[in-house]
Amino acid sequence: MATFASQFSHNVSIGSSVEQMCKGQDHAHHGSFVDDETGDVGQWAAITDGHGSNTCINYLRKIPQSEWNKAMGNPSPGETLFKMVNQFSNVWSRESSGATFCLVKIYRDRVVCINIGDSQAAVYKNGELAFLTETHDTFNEKDIARLKKENPSIDFYASQTIEITGDGKMYSVPSRYVMHNSNITLALTQALGHCGITGCAPDTTTIPYGPEDTVRVIIGSDGFWDMVVQKDSAEVLSFADKQSDELLKLVVDRWLQPWEMCRDREVGTFETGSFRREECDDVGVVKIDIVPCFESV
């Protein structure tokens, strides 16, 4: 865990934990930045979750820390990283290789969440959930509309995803994949990589805080959030006081536990099953604590 003594009113601690379950494509990043426009100094943390071949995620892992910090100081860091990947990652035109990018920038009076893909960030302020980023997938009608406008030739085909409940049940629910072209078919509507075929339209949200506010942030890959009952507000709220290693253990244990699985919700027939480790998604999580200097983290 990295702890930064603030020159202002808060101390910032950033911890990260990653468990490579199947493909080994999750990665956590953090550092500091100087805002190119205002000169403000801050910290940042992000999760990248690779998919397809390893070319894109391996490039992201090898970016020097100084280049990361410089890119995060840009007023449009998502677009900056998108361009860097397209220019330098050596993903070729027919290669399906990309990554999500979920970033949180920490200023002295605000946090800024920037998201590309289906990794997510949850922001808690004084013990309440203040914000949860949206996912860029085929459930996001706004991003689907953007895609259709930019590329009218895109098509879709039906698929399935999972949804869990707090009583140990797992349901197969309808989903869709996007056929961006004959070579690139993704569950995502936008991502880094893929030679820029998805386009780049990050969601950016600012959450202000004052000198006496306590802010906690969790950034997780979809392998993390798929094992969270997001409809259970009490569960989501309980995560605010946990550290990254505790959150990682909770989610990995859930991936590997026995489940009552239902392939058709309308029929309602269940059978007991479980995942082998190599069938589980990778899990990456970052925990940020932004605490007034007069309190302990």
CA distance 147 to 268: 35
**Tokens at residue 282, please?**
């990778």
Place of tokens 């959150």: 247
- In the chain, DSSP finds a helix count (H) and a strand count (E) of 7, 17
Kindly report the pTM of this predicted structure.
0.95
CB 100 within 8 A of CB 49: yes
Q: From 242, 279, 273, 239, select the one nearest 257 (Cα to Cα).
A: 273
Q: From 222, 226, 191, 199, select the one nearest 101 (Cα to Cα).
A: 191
CATH superfamily ID and name for 2-134+200-292: PPM-type phosphatase domain (3.60.40.10)
Phi, psi of 91 (to 5 degrees): -70, 125
Q: β-pairing, 169-179 with 259-262?
A: parallel
pLDDT, one tens digit for every residue, the chain (297 residues) = 665 545 468 999 999 999 999 999 999 999 999 999 999 999 999 999 999 999 999 999 999 999 999 999 999 999 999 999 999 999 998 899 999 999 999 999 999 999 999 999 999 999 999 999 999 999 999 999 999 999 999 999 999 999 999 899 999 999 999 999 888 999 999 999 999 999 999 999 999 999 999 999 999 999 999 999 999 999 999 999 999 999 999 999 999 999 999 988 777 799 999 999 999 999 999 999 999 987 654
CA distance 75 to 115: 14
